[in-house]
Amino acid sequence: MRLRVLKYVYVGIVGLAVIGLSLAASVYLIAESLWFQDVGYLEEFWWRLATQIGSLAIAFTLSFLFLWGNISLATRLRYPNQIENLSIPKLAKLLNPSPALQNRSVPVVLSFRWLAPTILGLSGLVGLMTIYLAKTLGTSSDSASTDLSVRPTSILDVLYVFKTLLNLNLGEIGIGLGVATLTIFYPISSLRAIALFISGCLGVLFCQQWDKILLFFHPTLFNSTEPIFHQDISFYIFSLPVWEIGELSLAILCLYALVAVSFIYISSGNSLSEGKFIGFNHLQQRHLYLLGSGLMLAVSLHYWLSRYELLYSARGVIYGASYTNVNVELPVNTIIWVLALVLAIALLGRAYFGLTSPPHRQLLSLASRQPLFFLVSISTLFALSSLLPLIIQVLVVQPNELIKESPYIARTIQFTRQAFDLNNIDAETFNPQGKLTVADLKNNQPTIKNIRIWDDRPLLDANRQLQQIRPYYKFYSADIDRYSLPATTNQTIEKQQVIISARELDYSAVPEVAKTWVNEHLIYTHGYGFTLSPVNQVAPGGLPEYYVKDIGANGRGNRVGNLGVRPNLQDIIPTINPRIYFGELTNNHIMTGTKVKELDYPSGDDNVYNTYDGKSRISLDSWWRRCVYAAYLKDWQLLLTQEFTPQTQLLYRRNIQERVKAIAPWLQYDGDPYLVAANVPNFASTPSYLYWIIDAYTISDRYPYADPKPNKFNYIRNSVKVVIDAYNGTVKLYIADSKDPIIQSWKSIFPHLFQPLEKLPPELQTHLRYPIDLFAIQSRKLLTYHMLDPKVFYNQEDLWQIPQEIYGSEPQSVEPYYLIMKLPTASQEEFILLLPFTPTGRTNLIAWLAARSDGKQYGKLLLYNFPKQQLIYGTEQIEALINQDPVISQQISLWNRQGSRVIQGNLLVIPIESSLLYIEPIYLEAEQNSVPTLVRVVAAYQNRIVMENTLTQALESVLR
């Protein structure tokens, strides 16, 4: 009766678990399907989900069938528990069914002296494998899709396994001992449970690596080969990762099956209670030989792949295959690969032909008669593969390192420059003449008018004090852009550099007493408007000048609700419907079309309310949808509230980063989305005028010979521009680099996901920027990889560094900055991104890198090298001269009194004609409730440094 009750309880628990998992899966599928249907990418979602489920199901099923089948076969072939009652002739027949061998005596193969350690060792190995797989596969699965920090590492990598086991904590060791103990007392049940666990781990691993599997079946040629194996780069990017996962899985399955089956056989026939094991019978040996063949096939595959992985070696002075890798490790790995394959075939032959096969079949290979010889040979070679490279590196390579490594250094330089797109940099010489005049300034007015004297940090601080309006509004970021606007003097349209900042709603800043469910999800739903400031103009009192500001100001035609805009800009900068439902701070889900009106914006002592009518909406007009999203969002108030109407809509995933990552998780996204105000017709069904642009990258850590340091990847392209409607939530992805093979592979997988860049509306194309993140990565690589000569590279004699500047009162690295200027080889001014360089250990300028962003010139990089025999002041030298100037230092000391402090802004190096001009703004702010004000502008040219009230005065004075 008691057993029957326990049985019912067990069935009930399993049934409830199955029902719970089914309901959770159904909720996920319905909720995600409705969301992807709303954003227009339902087909891509189902294709991705089918790949994930298919990969999981196939990997789990094959793994489970293999392990379960082997354990079941071993259970059938093991010795019966009554073996001690059998006579010697019957034992001989059981051990070997061949009539010619049945008259032999039955020796004891393992006495208790060796049996106990063997049993303990095998059970301990089972426990360690379980913990190791849970630790390594779990980590790999969590980071498989876009995080390249962890690769699934083969269990045959002995050194890696040893390091992992040494790092186990006491809890993990305890679990391993528990698994080992259960295996001894309940061998079959425990081994089957572990087989289920391993199959699940491998299934999850393949599921998480779905993107690599899709790319494996949709490769695109790079049309570039590496010099060792002469494989196209596409093999390393698309194929090698999947081969490694396959080898990892095969090694795990064969090793565990071999250990589990051996344990079952050795522990059978009352061997533990009798303290002796009589040996493996004929069928057991054939079974073990078959599993040994599979394991040696995994070893062979491991060393076959390890040859290609030498191209990612960190041994030696450079990244990639070095002299020792190519001339020592490669031959040894090749020999081990061949010997392991021969041994796998030999063991397979033994399993197939048996132990008593005729001589002519045993002559198939030497290995079929002497597998132990090959096993010892492989073990010896394995030891040599670890020790011999170290010996050669120390005794042969290091005394002649430059000569030995020069060809390999040249390869690393070549492939690193390819992988980070440094080969497309046009290098020229920039020779400052020191002949800048006032006439030159007049001839370069577009550059002068756009010299940035407002940095984003002080502007943001000023915005938060002057334009935040209410505590729940927040200016999260400020972005540099350019707009075609009428000039202040003659009203001609010209390109002007501005700083734009979105006024978003930050619900976390709402007072605690007002943080109710209704306020969070029904009333405080969106931000409102933005500020637009010219980078070079100052309002009275040293405050920022605004082209667009305020909330609820009367716009053209006295339409209340528009933002405050300069009269001459009302037809150029759209400010109608400036509501921000999708942004960088919109992290909560909201409901619109309810009985409660949404807060639109404050107007005096009252508030103006509004109802959302945008495109992005998921209807909650039925009870089952409310149930689904209550469970999915874990918000049960969706079922209890009385505020919903038949028109109620749900908006979630409103954070723009989260939104695009849900649609295309295989891309890496820039950390600085920027807002654009533009009148774009037909972008969405509901008119909107605010758009977010995010740069997206394809990356890989498998580009051969390409040095990743300090990144986790060694290949990157800015392949995609993402545009998100701030009101409607519409997301569109445009291919910005059609030459990138990775994005071409993704396009073949998801043909309707991407659009060509030519289809990006021209109103938005004029606001595309070369991304700062990519520029910073390329700049850091260029510090070393501008050296093309292997000898110079080896000696590091021309190493560059990013210069330092003083910001506030603390030193920091100069950050890339946008400028509108005319390049020495250009015919007109354009929007560029610029960064200067200095030699390592010195402070003078050595070069500057520019990235172009306008029109057909977009994406082109220019490197201007300064003459090495000429001293060109660097930013640190200019900062030192500024702080040493008696007039400037005295004034700064006077301002830095108690209650206020001076902020030295970004020091800009501005090329004009054949000269360099240095500009640094000086801000003053109070220590509390600070509103930074621009108080002075410092200009430096040649050996002259001046500080004046305005930029114009500073330029006139420094050239006087």
d(CA 492, CA 489): 8
Beta strand pairing call for 800-801 and 804-807: unpaired
Q: Answer yes or no: are the C-beta atoms of 653 and 662 closer than 8 Å.
A: yes
d(CA 452, CA 456): 10
**Burial of 193 by CB count in 10 Å (0-12 exposed, 13-18 middle, 19+ buried)?**
middle
3-state secondary structure of 556: helix
Q: Which residue has the higher pLDDT, 650 or 85?
A: 650
Query: Please, what is the average pLDDT of the chain?
Result: 87
The reported pLDDT for the residue numbered 120 is: 86
Q: Which two tokens stand for residue 638?
A: 């969706």
The reported pLDDT for the residue numbered 103 is: 43
Neighbours of 360 (CB within 10 A): 7
The reported pLDDT for the residue numbered 174 is: 86
Task: Give the torsion sign (CA, 408, 414, 415, 420).
Answer: positive
659 confidence band (pLDDT: 50, 70, 90) = very high
Report whether the peptide linkage leading into residue 710 is cis, meaning its omega lies within 30 degrees of zero. Answer: yes
Neighbours of 155 (CB within 10 A): 24
Q: Which two tokens stand for residue 760?
A: 């990006």
The reported pLDDT for the residue numbered 217 is: 96
Q: In sequence order, which residues have a C-beta less than 8 Å from that of residue 84 and are 6 or more positions away?
A: 269, 270, 274
d(CA 510, CA 472): 5
3-state secondary structure of 849: strand
d(CA 434, CA 2): 99
Taking alpha carbons only, the member of 563, 580, 610, 601 closest to residue 502 is 580
The reported pLDDT for the residue numbered 149 is: 45
Q: Which two tokens stand for residue 467?
A: 């334009």
Q: Which two tokens stand for residue 363?
A: 């002559």
**Percent of residues, the chain, with pLDDT higher than 70:** 89
HSE-CB of 463 using CA atoms within 13 angstroms: 28
3-state secondary structure of 744: helix
**Is residue 102 over pLDDT 50?**
no
Rounded to 10 degrees, the C-alpha dihedral 41/47/49/51 comes to -150
Give the model confidence (pLDDT) of 396-444 as tens digits. Answer: 888 898 999 999 999 999 999 999 999 999 999 998 887 888 888 888 8
Neighbours of 798 (CB within 10 A): 15
**Residues 607-645 as b or e (16 or more Cβ within 10 Å = b):** ebebebebbbbbebeeeebbebbbbbbebeebeebeebe
Question: Which pairs count as long-range contacts for 945-952, CB under 8 Å and 24+ apart, including other chains?
Answer: 945/878, 945/881, 945/882, 945/885, 945/888, 947/885, 947/887, 947/888, 947/891, 947/922, 950/538, 951/451, 951/453, 951/536, 951/919
Neighbours of 650 (CB within 10 A): 25
The whole-angstrom distance between residue 800's C-alpha and the CA centroid of its chain comes to: 27
Give the model confidence (pLDDT) of 322-363 as tens digits. Answer: 999 999 999 989 988 998 899 899 889 888 876 544 433 443
Neighbours of 780 (CB within 10 A): 18
Taking alpha carbons only, the member of 715, 713, 752, 721 closest to residue 737 is 721
**Residues 169-181 as b or e (16 or more Cβ within 10 Å = b):** eeebeeebeebbe
pTM of the model: 0.91
Give the model confidence (pLDDT) of 725-742 as tens digits. Answer: 999 999 999 999 999 999
Give the model confidence (pLDDT) of 881-911 as tens digits. Answer: 998 999 999 898 888 887 788 999 999 999 9
The reported pLDDT for the residue numbered 129 is: 84
**Is residue 31 over pLDDT 90?**
yes
- The kind and range of the H/E element at 256 are helix 240-266
**Burial of 758 by CB count in 10 Å (0-12 exposed, 13-18 middle, 19+ buried)?**
exposed
Beta strand pairing call for 715-725 and 690-700: antiparallel
The reported pLDDT for the residue numbered 846 is: 95
Task: Give the torsion sign (CA, 662, 666, 671, 674).
Answer: negative
Q: Answer yes or no: are the C-beta atoms of 853 and 833 closer than 8 Å.
A: yes
3-state secondary structure of 534: strand
**Is residue 41 over pLDDT 70?**
yes
The whole-angstrom distance between residue 601's C-alpha and the CA centroid of its chain comes to: 38
Give the model confidence (pLDDT) of 767-825 as tens digits. Answer: 999 999 999 999 999 999 999 999 999 999 999 999 999 888 789 999 999 999 988 88
557 confidence band (pLDDT: 50, 70, 90) = very low
d(CA 802, CA 837): 5
d(CA 248, CA 132): 13
d(CA 526, CA 387): 64
d(CA 623, CA 644): 11
Amino acid at site 305: L
**Residues 69-105 as b or e (16 or more Cβ within 10 Å = b):** ebbebbeebbbeeebeebeeeebbbbbbeeeeeeeee
Taking alpha carbons only, the member of 233, 210, 417 closest to residue 319 is 417
Phi, psi of 194 (to 5 degrees): -65, -35
The reported pLDDT for the residue numbered 83 is: 52
Q: Which two tokens stand for residue 748?
A: 């073949």
378 confidence band (pLDDT: 50, 70, 90) = low
Give the model confidence (pLDDT) of 179-226 as tens digits. Answer: 888 888 888 999 999 999 999 999 999 999 999 999 999 999 999 999
